[in-house]
């Protein structure tokens, strides 16, 4: 049965964690997944759309749609550089979202730690890192 697989358990855990972060996203005018785009820009502002696609491992049309929403909300702006690459820059409003979004992610981690403990979460993070490696 599907429900008895490790993959199913992982999926359920991800859904539960994501659900705990979603209210903070909604309160800040964000849709799920936009926080990940913003996080990439908080790390390196002004990267190209194709770099975002590569770093996040999601399809180009998905990134384009999310950026359009973020741009309409006033969180990012896109510019074409001299090489005709579309670069994405944070606006002051986009930079201001960093603290509340990161706090929501940290709160989700604290909830997990309350359930499993720091050692188990560290071990889980290591295991997930091995499972996520694209080397196979």
pLDDT at 124: 86
List domains and CATH numbers for the chain.
Answer: 1-28+97-136 (no CATH), 30-91 (1.10.10.10)
CA 70/CA 49 separation, integer angstroms: 13
Over residues 59-84, mean pLDDT: 93
Q: Which long-range contacts (CB under 8 A, 24 or more apart) does 63-67 make?
A: 63/37, 66/31, 66/33, 66/34, 66/37, 67/37
CA distances from 36 to 21, 28, 40 (A): 12, 14, 6
**Is the pTM of the predicted complex or chain greater than 0.75?**
yes
**pLDDT tens per residue, range 12-58:** 988 988 998 999 999 999 998 999 999 999 999 999 999 999 999 99
C-beta of residue 53 within 8 angstroms of C-beta of residue 59: yes
């Amino acid at each position: 049965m599907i429900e008895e697989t490790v993959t199913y358990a992982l999926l359920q855990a991800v859904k539960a964690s994501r659900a705990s972060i979603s209210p903070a996203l909604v309160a800040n005018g964000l849709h799920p997944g936009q926080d990940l785009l913003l996080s990439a820009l908080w790390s390196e502002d002004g990267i190209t759309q194709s770099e975002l696609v590569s770093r996040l491992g999601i399809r180009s049309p998905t990134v384009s749609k999310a950026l359009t929403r973020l741009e309409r909300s006033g969180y990012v702006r896109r510019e074409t550089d001299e090489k005709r690459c579309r670069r994405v820059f944070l606006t002051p409003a986009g930079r201001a979202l960093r603290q509340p979004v990161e706090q929501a992610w940290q709160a989700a981690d604290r909830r997990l730690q309350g359930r499993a403990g720091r050692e188990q979460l560290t071990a889980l993070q290591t295991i997930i890192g091995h499972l996520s490696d694209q080397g196979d």
